[in-house]
């Protein structure tokens, strides 16, 4: 029933937000370049790789040697606005339809983090990753990876329909307030196994 609900809800949201998605795609092309969609292999349930889809939120600016500039230097005002409003996450509805993700679950991070997990941190992959999760409403990017993974494992052990409803509601509130968008776990501070 959960799977059927997620497919129907994702399709409905894609239709409702189709004007927003189209306008966002156009603005991404104008202000950030192409491709409009950023895709990257991330670990899903049981660490199975899948292709995560998001709107790009950084430019392709390079140095004189052709190497991409650091993430912070490739973020402009429009890209930061995309992230603070979570509009860059809208393409992940397609990941839900495909069965790679759920609405609620631990956020999918990078494949190279898997060997760096300690103790029971790997248990965050016992469920499908989500667009939002327990860690996202309890600090989002303003908590350390260690704290974040503890909350992810707590969610795995305590997940329920009512908890998911609570997380979705509080996510909506957080997005409106644009809380904890930047912090300790932003892209330029990757997980090294200790932080």
Q: What is the pLDDT of residues 41-85, one digit of tens each?
A: 999 999 999 999 999 988 877 777 777 777 777 788 888 889 888
Binned at pLDDT 50, 70 and 90, residue 150 comes out as very high
Domain assignment present for residue 184? The answer is no
Residue 43 lies in a domain: yes
At residue 103, the pLDDT reads: 96
Residue at 9 is within a domain: yes
Indicate whether 182 belongs to any domain. no
Q: How many whole angstroms separate alpha carbon 34 and alpha carbon 113?
A: 27
Return d(Cα 101, Cα 18) in angstroms, integer. Answer: 20
Task: Please report where in the chains the tokens 């990876």 appear, as a residue.
Answer: 145
What's the structural domain count of the chain? Answer: 1
Is there a domain that residue 165 lies in? Answer: yes
Query: Which residue, among 88, 117, 92, has the nearest Cα to 103 in the 3D structure?
Result: 92
Domain-located, residue 87: yes
Q: Is 138 within a domain?
A: yes
Q: How far apart are CA 129 and CA 126, in angstroms?
A: 9
**Do the domain assignments include residue 95?**
yes
- Domain span at residue 24? 2-177
Residue 12 has pLDDT above 90, yes or no: yes
CA distance 195 to 53: 26
> Which pTM was predicted?
0.87
């Amino acid at each position: 029933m959960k799977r059927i609900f997620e497919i129907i809800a994702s399709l409905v949201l894609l239709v409702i937000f189709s004007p927003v998605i189209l306008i966002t795609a156009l603005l991404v092309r104008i202000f950030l370049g192409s491709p409009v969609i950023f895709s990257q292999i991330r670990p899903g349930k049981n660490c199975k790789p899948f292709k995560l889809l998001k709107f790009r939120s950084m430019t392709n600016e390079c140095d004189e040697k052709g190497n991409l500039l650091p993430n912070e230097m490739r973020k402009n005002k429009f890209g930061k606005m995309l992230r603070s409003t979570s509009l860059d996450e809208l393409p992940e509805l397609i990941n839900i339809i495909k069965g790679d993700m759920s609405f609620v679950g631990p956020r999918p991070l990078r494949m190279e983090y898997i060997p760096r997990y300690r103790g029971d941190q790997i248990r965050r992959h016992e469920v499908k990753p989500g667009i939002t999760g327990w860690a996202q409403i309890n600090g989002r990017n303003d908590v350390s990876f260690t704290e974040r993974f503890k909350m992810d494992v707590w969610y795995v052990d305590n997940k329920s329909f009512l908890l998911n409803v609570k997380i979705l509601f509080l996510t909506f509130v957080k997005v409106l307030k644009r809380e904890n968008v930047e912090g300790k776990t932003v892209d330029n501070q990757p997980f090294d196994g200790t932080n």
